[in-house]
Amino acid sequence: MRYLPLTDADRRLMLERIGVNSVDDLFVDVPASARLPGPLPTLPKHLAEFEVERIIGGLAAKNLSAGACPSFLGAGAYRHHVPASVDQLLLRGEFLTSYTPYQPEVSQGTLQSLFEFQTQVALLTGMEVANASMYDGATACAEAVMMANRITRRGNALVSGGLHPHYREVIQTMADSTGFAVQALPPTISPVEEIAENIDQETACVVVQNPDFFGRLHDFTALAEICQSNGALLVVVVTEVVSLGLIKPPGAMGADIVVAEGQGIGNALGFGGPHVGLFACKEKYVRQMPGRLCGQTVDADGRRGYVLTLSTREQHIRREKATSNICTNSGLCALAFTIHLSLLGEEGLTRLAELNHAMASTFADMIAQVPGCRVLNESFFNEFTVELPFPAAALVDKMAIVPILAGVPVSRLYPDNPELENLLLVAVTELNQIQEMETFVQLLKVWL
Q: How many Cα atoms occupy the beta-carbon half-sphere of 408 within 13 Å?
A: 21
Give me the domains of the chain, ranges plus CATH numbers: 85-341 (3.40.640.10), 346-447 (3.90.1150.10)
The H or E element that residue 412 is part of is: helix 410-413
pLDDT for the residue 117: 97
pLDDT for the residue 16: 95
Greater pLDDT, 271 or 415: 415
| Separation between Cα atoms, residue 70 and residue 77, nearest integer Å | 15
**Distance of alpha carbon 259 from the chain centroid:** 9
Distance between terminal CA atoms of the chain? 59
Greater pLDDT, 331 or 358: 358
For residue 302, give Cα distances in angstroms to 111, 112, 166, 296, 297: 18, 17, 48, 12, 9
Cis peptide before 403 (omega within 30 of 0): yes
pLDDT for the residue 385: 97
| Separation between Cα atoms, residue 345 and residue 389, nearest integer Å | 43
Name the pLDDT band for 329 (thresholds 50, 70, 90). Answer: low
Contact, 294 vs 132, CB < 8 A?
yes
Contact, 235 vs 207, CB < 8 A?
yes
pLDDT tens column, 337-368 = 999 999 999 999 999 999 999 999 999 999 99
Which of 290, 293, 229, 225 shows the shortest CA–CA distance to 253?
Answer: 225
Cis peptide before 211 (omega within 30 of 0): yes
Which of 384, 387, 367 shows the shortest CA–CA distance to 445?
Answer: 367
Per-residue pLDDT at 64 exceeds 70: yes
Per-residue pLDDT at 9 exceeds 70: yes
Name the pLDDT band for 103 (thresholds 50, 70, 90). Answer: confident
pLDDT tens column, 142-158 = 999 999 999 999 999 99
pLDDT for the residue 105: 79
The segment with the largest mean pLDDT, out of 2-11, 57-66, 187-196, 318-327, is: 57-66
Q: Give the pTM.
A: 0.89
Per-residue pLDDT at 311 exceeds 80: no
- Spell out the SS3 assignment of 74-89: CCCCCCCCCCHHHHHH
SS3 182: strand
297 Cβ neighbours under 8 A, 6+ residues apart: 304, 305, 306, 307
pLDDT tens column, 206-215 = 999 999 999 9
Q: What is the mean pLDDT of residues 257-280?
A: 94
Please give the torsion angle defined by the CA atoms of residues 191, 193, 195 and 197, in that order, rounded to the nearest 10 degrees. Answer: -160
Greater pLDDT, 7 or 380: 380
**Distance of alpha carbon 143 from the chain centroid:** 13
pLDDT for the residue 42: 80
Per-residue pLDDT at 321 exceeds 80: no
pLDDT tens column, 11-56 = 999 999 999 999 989 999 999 899 888 888 887 778 889 999 999 9
Per-residue pLDDT at 78 exceeds 80: yes
